[in-house]
Structure 1
Amino acid sequence: MSEQGWIQELLRVEKNEDVKFSEKQLKIVEAAIDIFSEKGFAATSTSEIAKKAGVAEGTIFRHYKTKKDLLFSIVRPTIEKLLAPHFAKSFAKDVFETEYNSYEEFVKALATNRYKFLKGHFPIVKIFVQEIAFHEELRGPYIQLFKEHIYKHFKKIVIQFQQKGELIDLPPDTIIRLTISTIMGMLVVIHFPLTDDDFETELERSIAFIMKGLSTK
């Protein structure tokens, strides 16, 4: 899907209607994604967005009451609507409905799946990661999505490998948190964006780190 085609889909989700959007509105959203991703929400002004989009600043406020409304129109529907089907159907199926010979094998599949997803949605994910700590309106839907579609499957796999004697006797929630924080740190916090070669190298190091701390061997 082209960048503008993807933005059209995003706007339709936010409006909950199948309508066409003006070229100016598409340019506003595209410019906002670029600048929010590069500079962060707080450091971005609507005048900068307007300049990059090639529109008058007042045009932004005809579509969005505030800069925060513009941010949420981009990030919130992505998390609530566009990503939810992906989590429920693709992520859960591809990662959690597979039999693994080891926890290490599972973590590699998990990280590889998320890396492929990030490559197609990196600017939005970067904005989300930058802003989630500052906006409860973004945290809530994400936490709910995780609980509904991911947590129970993840916990089942952790318990499975604990019962096999591969993982140490920590609460499953702790193991899940340590695993996710390490993988997400590799993908979007420390090294973004990763090249394919970087990913393979960092994945090996990250899995070794995780297993050194969690393995019973």
Structure 2
Amino acid sequence: MADEMDEWLASLLRLSDEDDKMTDKQIKIIQAAVEIFAEKGYAATSTSEIAQKAGVAEGTIFRHYRTKKDLLISIVTPVMAKLVAPFVLRDFNKVLDSHYEHFEDFLRAVMRNRLDFVVKNAPIIKIMLHEIPFHPELQRQFREKVFPQVADRVVRIVQRFQDRNELVEMPPFALLRMAVSVMAGYILTRSLILPDDDWDDEAEIERAVAFIMHGLTPANH
């Protein structure tokens, strides 16, 4: 967890504008908050716990962040707006811009790419999964910053394989939702729920792809 946290924190600090650098105390507060939010969840975390872990007075937190919710938003929003969205799109370009002979090849590339992303950014992704359902601000960030940049391009890929009669006829977004639920099920279990189990990623990816394709391949294909 410590190595993952350090990598994530370094990513966040690199996002800071030259005129808006975090102070040393802010860095300690953010790091402490990420660790405790990821472990206990936002609602169960007190600002006094964050202050104690950060080695600062509780009043110091409120000099930088008016409320605990402001602190949460300050952690997640930069990642949503500056890290996750551009990173997803930039890293996804290698997947989306490649040529795939079959849809199952595309699925394998997506699973490997997203598994690597989630493993490297596990602490902040865990917070996002905990808190997005309960915070409209975070839901809005996801809708506006992440989803549109990926969805349209992936839908076009689905339609291309549907035109070649490699996939069943159904609304592309419905097809994607079903495929993503299978892929995300493995990725989240592997990286967040049972990260210490002995996983064979390539074997699991092949099982997931075979399962998805069994349901999406036309009967006459």
Which of the five TM-score ranges fits, normalised by the shorter chain? 0.7 to 0.9
Higher relative contact order (Cα pairs below 8 Å, separated by 6+ residues) = 2
> Which residue identity lines up with residue 191 of structure 2 in the other structure?
F
Worse-superposed segment, 158-167 or 67-76:
158-167
CA contact (8 A) 1:7 1:30 kept: no
CA contact (8 A) 1:7 1:29 kept: no
User: Hey, what does 1:61 align to over in structure 2?
Assistant: 62
Assess, with a 3 A threshold, how the Cα gap between structure 1 residues 18 and 82 changes in structure 2: closer, same or farther: farther
From 10, 29, 33, the counterpart of 1:5 = 10
1:151 aligns with 2:170: no
Structure 2: runs of 5+ lacking an equivalent: none
User: Hey, what does 1:129 align to over in structure 2?
Assistant: 129
CA distance in 1 between partners of 2:158 and 2:210 (Å): 17
CA distance in 1 between partners of 2:81 and 2:21 (Å): 22
CA contact (8 A) 2:118 2:191 kept: no
1:117 aligns with 2:117: yes
CA contact (8 A) 2:159 2:172 kept: yes
Assess, with a 3 A threshold, how the Cα gap between structure 1 residues 114 and 47 changes in structure 2: closer, same or farther: same
From 203, 206, 218, the counterpart of 1:204 = 206
CA distance in 2 between partners of 1:21 and 1:134 (Å): 27
2:19 aligned counterpart, secondary structure: coil
User: Hey, what does 1:21 align to over in structure 2?
Assistant: 22
CA distance in 2 between partners of 1:192 and 1:110 (Å): 16
User: Hey, what does 1:40 align to over in structure 2?
Assistant: 41
CA contact (8 A) 1:25 1:63 kept: yes
What TM-score do the two structures reach when normalised by structure 2? 0.86
Instruction: Determine what percentage of the aligned residue pairs are the same residue.
Output: 45
Q: RMSD value over aligned CA atoms?
A: 2.2
What TM-score do the two structures reach when normalised by structure 1? 0.87
Assess, with a 3 A threshold, how the Cα gap between structure 1 residues 180 and 133 changes in structure 2: closer, same or farther: same
